[in-house]
Amino acid sequence: MAKKSKKLVSLIVLTVCIVAVLGMKVVVGMTKGKLSADAFTKVKGNKNAPLNITEFIDFQCPACAHGAMYLKEVMEKHPGLIRLTVKHFPLAMHQHGMLSAGYAECTVEQGKFWPYHDLILSRQNNWKQLEDPRPAFEQMGKELGLDLQAIQNCLEGMAVVKTIEQSKTEGQALNIRSTPTYFVNGKMFVGQKSLEQEITKYLEEHGD
């Protein structure tokens, strides 16, 4: 008798566990945010590209630097394949995450976001350990011929912080926890490895 009731109780507990998790997933899914259109974002690539990728990035994250290099290579090798949008997601664990996002965001109005994006990520190892990375950020700006005073003015304004925070809030509502997180045609992929698998799969199925 005890054996029989133990089986029944186990089944009931197991069912409750499954229902609780699935129920909570439904609730979380209902409150989940949506990927917004390109307002406040940085975009490159063919407008009609078959792979529309949105990347949530932290400029101090090493995996983001590798991921950006990978995407750049793919976009050069397969022009027209990808339309890339970058959104900020500076992580609290990275002390210069917010500042680097600020510098990058402030290059947008001078039309130099992408060269600055590539440079700041490729030199990440040079500035991420610095106590104050501002001189390194400014040096990169100088190399790209940016108006540093305009960058300074931009950094002192509230608009840049608002843009970055808006981006981060959007990411949080999408349940993003780590960077880089990519949305390929709306489907979530976390980290370069998953992204690579998806792009490779697409190329195998459709070619260039």
Partner 1 sequence: MAINIFIVFRILIGVLFVVSGFEKLIGPYQNFLYIVQSYDMLPAWGEEIAARTMPWIEFVSGVFMALGLRLTVALPAVMALLMAFIVVVGQALIRKLPIDECGCFGTLISFPLNVVIVLDSLLLVLTGILAGKRDDAQKFSLDGYLNE
Side chain identity, residue 69 = M
CB of 47 to partner 1, least distance (A): 27
- Whole-angstrom distance, CA of residue 182 vs CA of residue 164: 17
User: Does 62 sit near partner 1 (CB under 8 A)?
Assistant: yes
Q: Cβ of residue 143: shortest distance to partner 1, in angstroms?
A: 28
Residue 193: Cβ within 10 Å count: 13
Q: What is the DSSP letter of 109?
A: G
Sheet with 187-190, side-by-side order of all strands: 42-45, 82-88, 51-57, 181-184, 187-190
Site for partner 1 in 9-48 (CB under 8 A): 9-10, 13-14, 17, 21, 24-25, 28
The answer to whether 144 and 138 are in contact (CB under 8 A) is no
Q: Does 108 bind partner 1 (CB under 8 A)?
A: no
Residues 152-181 that bind partner 1 (CB under 8 A): 175-178, 181
Give the interface segment with partner 1, choosing from 7-15, 112-120, 150-158, 162-170 (CB under 8 A): 7-15
Q: How far is CA 158 from CA 7, 36, 76, 161, in A?
A: 61, 21, 35, 5
Smallest separation (angstroms) from partner 1 to the CB of 40: 23
Using CB atoms within 10 A of its CB, is residue 195 exposed (0-12), middle (13-18) or buried (19+)?
buried
- Nearest-approach distance from CB 181 to partner 1, in angstroms: 8
Region binding partner 1 by CB under 8 A among candidate stretches 33-41, 77-85, 104-112, 191-199: 191-199
Least separation in angstroms between residue 63's CB and partner 1 is 8
Task: Give the residues lining the site for partner 1 (CB under 8 A).
Answer: 2, 5-6, 9-10, 13-14, 17, 21, 24-25, 28, 62, 93, 175-178, 181, 188-191, 193-194, 197
